[in-house]
Structure 1
Amino acid sequence: MDIDKLSIKKKRVMIYFIEAARRLMASEGVRALSIRGIAEIAGYNSATLYNYFDDLQHLTLFASMSYLRDYVSALSGNLKPPMSSLQRYRVIYETFDHFAFRSPEIFYNMFFGRQSAKLPEVVVQYYALFPEELKEHFPSVRKMLTQGDMYRRDEPIVEELVRDGFVRPENASPLSAVVPRLNQTYLHELVNGKDISPEEQHRRFIAVFDYLLETAK
């Protein structure tokens, strides 16, 4: 969908639905989201919603942008120029887990849900609807929000790990495949109600993460 080609009225309708979903998410949690509930708050019937969004998960991506913004802002601040590629790789997951393990349903939907492949496209569309929010970010945050590598976090930096001698070339592809899936598993456990703190879950993940990196040398 090309947001720029939509009429002002249609853009407003999209905004009404996004803000309704965001309001319901904030007050009752992401599991309380429903097409009917969002439509009632937005002041439209449920069928209208499907003129703008594929399904509930697609709309939830738009409503989750504040969580993505906070994660990207923190990541931008945590990544320092003097860091080695190995240090940056670890910081990426430490920052992601800090936010994702505290809002597991929202982050699982964004990065691993049925509509997660559309996240880069949704980011562009969201900021076309809410351009004032993008202007509020530092240039480094704006760049991270609008570049594609952020949404497929491993391949580019694993290539750097190989170039810098931290990972053997033959281990690059397995490492790029295994680490995100490992992280997805730990996140999925929290989505399913595993009774463990975000901090402990992160410690469990990092222990295996460090083992994999040591093995990949």
Structure 2
Amino acid sequence: MARREIQVKRMLQYFVEATVELIEEEGIENVSARKIGERAGYTSSTIYNYFDELSHLIYFASMRFVKEYLQELPEYLARGNTYVEKYISSWECFCKHSFEKPQIYHALYIADLGKKTDEMVNHYFSIYSSDLIGFTDEIKPMLYDPDLTSRSKALLELAQKEQDIEATTIEEVNEMCVLIWEGMITTVLNKRRDMKPEEAAEKTMRYIRNMMSPLQEGQAR
């Protein structure tokens, strides 16, 4: 790696780790360019030499908070005997962790970044390549896909090998599951309902299981 690349990578890491520390101490909603610059030992304007927008730096830092989810995901997938069951299990894992850290998951999967997120994910893993260690080839494509709709649909599409499911059904069912999660996470963040993380996760999964019941009944025939 060229000296310039090493320097840039080091600077990116300085700012990301400073942002992670601030999120841990003050919450993601209280992060600012000024605070990050002070924590990293640089002026806030220096940040924009490496990140187009503050939201991009927050996105990178948020990725540091999903390790537990990514580590548990293979275990949840292994619980399913069919791809429909694996799909449901993957949502169970996602809901468990996302409602524990709703602001982090909103930053990763809902917030407007003004840039293609696949480019940002590839950039992130080029800096933190060690985050990929230990994941199977079944999991890695999901890690690289920042779009919640397409990454969840990938598992459901594999269910077509096990039963006759129309592509439009997969598209619609998957989109409705994503919309259920987005609606609930937004409700929690806006404090429209007073729900504990486990309650929000359980309620979301109940709706998702209801959406999936016709596909599960199809497998039972």
Which deviations, in whole Å up to 9, do the C-alpha atoms of 1:113-161 show, x marking residues without a partner? 1129744433432333334x337x3142883575438853232222233
- Describe how 1:102-117 pairs up with structure 2 within 5 A: 102-115=100-113
Contact 2:95 / 2:205 at 8 angstroms: preserved in 1?
no
Contact 2:80 / 2:89 at 8 angstroms: preserved in 1?
no
- Separation in 2, partners of 1:190, 1:202: 11
What one-letter code is carried by the residue in structure 1 that aligns with 2:210?
Y
| 1:200 aligned residue | 199
- Separation in 1, partners of 2:108, 2:197: 18
Q: Larger deviation: 47-56 or 104-113?
A: 47-56
RMSD between superposed Cα atoms in Å: 2.9
Structure 1 unaligned residues grouped into runs of 5+ = none
Which deviations, in whole Å up to 9, do the C-alpha atoms of 1:11-44 show, x marking residues without a partner? 2221111111011111111111111111111111
Contact 1:154 / 1:176 at 8 angstroms: preserved in 2?
yes
Which deviations, in whole Å up to 9, do the C-alpha atoms of 1:48-98 show, x marking residues without a partner? 111111222210111122222221111022211862111101111100011
- Separation in 2, partners of 1:24, 1:140: 32
Contact 2:15 / 2:36 at 8 angstroms: preserved in 1?
yes
What one-letter code is carried by the residue in structure 2 that aligns with 1:140?
T
Distance 1:117 1:94, change over 3 A: farther
- Separation in 2, partners of 1:38, 1:64: 14
Q: Larger deviation: 3-12 or 84-93?
A: 3-12
Contact 2:63 / 2:108 at 8 angstroms: preserved in 1?
no
- Separation in 1, partners of 2:178, 2:2: 34
Determine helix, strand or coil for the equivalent of 1:140. coil
Q: Give every structure 1 segment of 4 or more consecutive aligned residues whose post-TM-superposition deviation is greater than 6 Å.
A: none
| 2:96 aligned residue | 98
| 1:124 aligned residue | 122
| 1:140 aligned residue | 136
Structure 2 unaligned residues grouped into runs of 5+ = none
| 2:36 aligned residue | 38
The structure 2 residue matched to 1:89, chosen from 87, 90, 94, is 87
| 2:16 aligned residue | 18
| 1:51 aligned residue | 49
- Separation in 2, partners of 1:106, 1:149: 14
Deviation at 1:107, TM superposition (A): 0.5
| 1:77 aligned residue | 75
TM-score (norm 1): 0.84
**Percent identity of paired positions between Structure 1 and Structure 2:** 24
The structure 2 residue matched to 1:188, chosen from 186, 189, 193, is 186
Contact 2:122 / 2:144 at 8 angstroms: preserved in 1?
no
Determine helix, strand or coil for the equivalent of 2:124. helix
Aligned length: 213
